[in-house]
Amino acid sequence: MIASIIEALQFDFMQHALLAGILVSFAAGIIGSLIVVNRMVFLAGGIAHTSYGGIGLAVYLGLPIFLGASLFSVAAALFIAALTLKKRHRMDTFIGLIWAVGMAIGVIFVDLTPGYNVDLMSYLFGSILAVSTQDLYFMAGLLLVILAVVTLKYRDILAVSYDSEYAGLRGVNVRFFYTLILVLSALTVVIAIKVVGLILVIAMLTIPVYIAEKLSNSLFTMMFLSGAIATLFTLVGLWMSYTYNLTSGASIIIVSALSLGLFLLAYRGR
């Protein structure tokens, strides 16, 4: 096994895949924790699917895919933030709406692009073996921003997530931090699309978090533990994918789901 791993790591694309897996998993663990404690899982799913609109647009205009997807999903996040701060009870309707409309826009733009047949599957299920150096910079940059925000603004984020009304009374800008969490989620979803694809991203944002939540007694521990667990799942999933020639994104999710099952069995007694 060790020999096969060393052999695999001789390839540039495997090194990139490994590095991307670690960067993205850590970001997903931290942001996934915030998404789960704020009960925004469905929302994150909506943003993930909406970003396909950005992918289609980028293909049509010949822009970098990352840029198109980022701009589009951040716009969707801002739109949702503005709407839900006013009409929280209609949130599910709006999410369902952007979910489908975003994908439809993406499909239409890809149709309109002459002579280019984009590999839809790679965005739906990820293409971690095709990570460029540029992608890695983007991922590392985002992880740094996320780390800076959650350490420097920890208590504000904690206050807004735990009890937003009270946080508002104590002078915390609830609107700002709520929007910030959404925008960071949107960007994390975009980088995670590269690793597991936009359909599977929701599992990456929730399974490690669910395990970490049971083992943590503070949000801070939960965020970093989720990051570590997600990284572990990604590495095992990648190894499985390489060894048995399976789709990497799906392998990562199956490893996560099986581990969750085992964890719950072991945890139940306690």
Cα-only R_g, the chain: 18
For the CB of residue 169, give the shortest distance to other proteins in the complex, in Å: 6
- The only residue of 131, 158, 182, 202 in contact with other proteins, by rule CB under 8 A: 158
181: contact with other proteins by CB under 8 A: no
- The only residue of 90, 137, 163, 258 in contact with other proteins, by rule CB under 8 A: 163
Stretch that binds other proteins, among 60-68, 73-81, 110-118, 160-168 (CB under 8 A): 160-168
Distance CA 268, CA 270 (A): 6
Select from 63, 67, 64, 68 the least CA-distant residue to 106.
68
What are the start-end ranges of the H helices in the chain?
A: 2-8, 12-37, 41-61, 65-86, 91-112, 120-125, 133-152, 154-162, 164-169, 174-196, 201-215, 219-244, 248-268
170: contact with other proteins by CB under 8 A: yes
Stretch that binds other proteins, among 106-114, 126-134, 163-171, 198-206 (CB under 8 A): 163-171
- Which helix (H) or strand (E) element contains residue 63? none
For the CB of residue 255, give the shortest distance to other proteins in the complex, in Å: 24
Sign of CA dihedral 26, 30, 31, 32: positive
For the segment 193-222, give every residue that binds other proteins (CB under 8 A).
Answer: 213, 216-219, 221-222
For the segment 134-153, give every residue that binds other proteins (CB under 8 A).
Answer: 151-152
For the CB of residue 20, give the shortest distance to other proteins in the complex, in Å: 28
Residue type, 219: L
Distance CA 30, CA 195 (A): 16
Q: Which is nearer to other proteins, 13 or 166 (CB)?
A: 166
Residues that bind other proteins (CB under 8 A): 37, 151-152, 154-155, 158-159, 161-163, 165-172, 213, 216-219, 221-222
